[in-house]
Structure 1
Amino acid sequence: MLQSGNVSRLHRIPCAETWHFYLGEPLTIVELDEKDGKLKLTCLGPDLGDNQQVQYTVPPYVWFGAFPTKDFHISSDGRAAKAEPRDAECHYSLVGCTCAPAFQFQDFELGKHSELVSTFPNYEPIISFLTNTD
């Protein structure tokens, strides 16, 4: 469960990770791919008519994190603005993840702010709220 006010920090793993939406409010998955240097945003949620998906697979070795969609306003160029705080008890996203091949914790790599900003300088605002500053 990812409650309002919390994020899943940018990280990467060497396997595909499929996210499944179960309940609550929409969640946005953020991807930063070193191959093309691009930012990709995917919204998981119950409203398929509003461009939300109930599941999505992040490819191996791609930096990714997530946040409750209504917590931030993200422009197509990666600029981020925080929305008004919301009650975490009432505003949350319940999701699950499946990895293939199996997840091994020793393969988990947490993103470092300075390294990610160096690699993706155009996306510093979004990187800042999805990493701990070094």
Structure 2
Amino acid sequence: MKPASYWVNKYNMQAHPEGGYFAETYRSAEQIPQSALPDRFGGSRVFSTGIYFLLEGHHFSALHQIQSDELWHFYTGDPLEVYVIHPEDGLLEVIRLGPDPERGEVFQAAVPAGTWFGSRPIPGSTYSLVGCTVAPGFDFADFELADRELLLAQYPQHREVIEALTR
């Protein structure tokens, strides 16, 4: 397995605000006008965006939410766990991205718009290299980083995950 630094350098990845590294690989040239989007969007958005996303074993992607669905894709490295808190019922879903379906791992998984989600490589990992496709396309105007205290007040049953995946 190639080291994490190989991928970071090969794809010119930059530090990501959630943690880890990323490189945008696709941003649609066409846009959806605000009038055609749900009210939660504050303006026009591109059709879709895509990134490479790498988390080393000591990294985590902090809990956050966006206004679009996000499709995650596993590429290489160790499995990655994506933690999703569904606001409508408080259910915690753990998606395990990886190459081994016998261990409950999947190559792709969707995270619905408006859920709180974060991720981290499984314990003992070196790194996980994944991709994320967002539609309508990602815009930082649609991004909200979780506030630990507010999430703990809303979802006290998920204290361990919230404390582990917030800063």
> Are 1:92 and 2:127 matched, yes or no?
yes
Partner residue in 2 for 1:116: 151
Partner residue in 1 for 2:94: 41
Cα deviation for residue 104 of structure 1 reads: 0.8
Query: Relative contact order (C-alpha < 8 Å, sep 6+): which is higher?
Result: 1
Identical columns (%)? 41
**Alignment RMSD, CA only?**
1.0
Q: Give the secondary-structure state (helix, strand or coil) at the position aligned to 1:14.
A: coil
Cα deviation for residue 49 of structure 1 reads: 1.8
Report if aligned partners of 1:28, 1:66 keep a CA contact under 8 Å in 2: yes
Listed as ranges, the matches of 1:1-134 within 5 Å are: 1-71=54-124, 91-132=126-167
Report if aligned partners of 1:34, 1:119 keep a CA contact under 8 Å in 2: no
For 2:159 and 2:63, the matched residues in 1 are separated by 12
For 1:19 and 1:70, the matched residues in 2 are separated by 20
What are structure 2's unaligned runs of at least 5 residues?
1-53
- Higher Cα Rg, which structure: 2
For 1:65 and 1:130, the matched residues in 2 are separated by 6
Q: Give the secondary-structure state (helix, strand or coil) at the position aligned to 1:94.
A: strand
The aligned amino acid for 1:5 is H
What are structure 1's unaligned runs of at least 5 residues?
72-85
Runs of 4+ in 1 over 2 A off after TM superposition: none
Output the TM-score relative to the length of structure 2.
Answer: 0.66
For 2:152 and 2:58, the matched residues in 1 are separated by 22
For 2:147 and 2:156, the matched residues in 1 are separated by 13
Cα deviation for residue 70 of structure 1 reads: 2.2
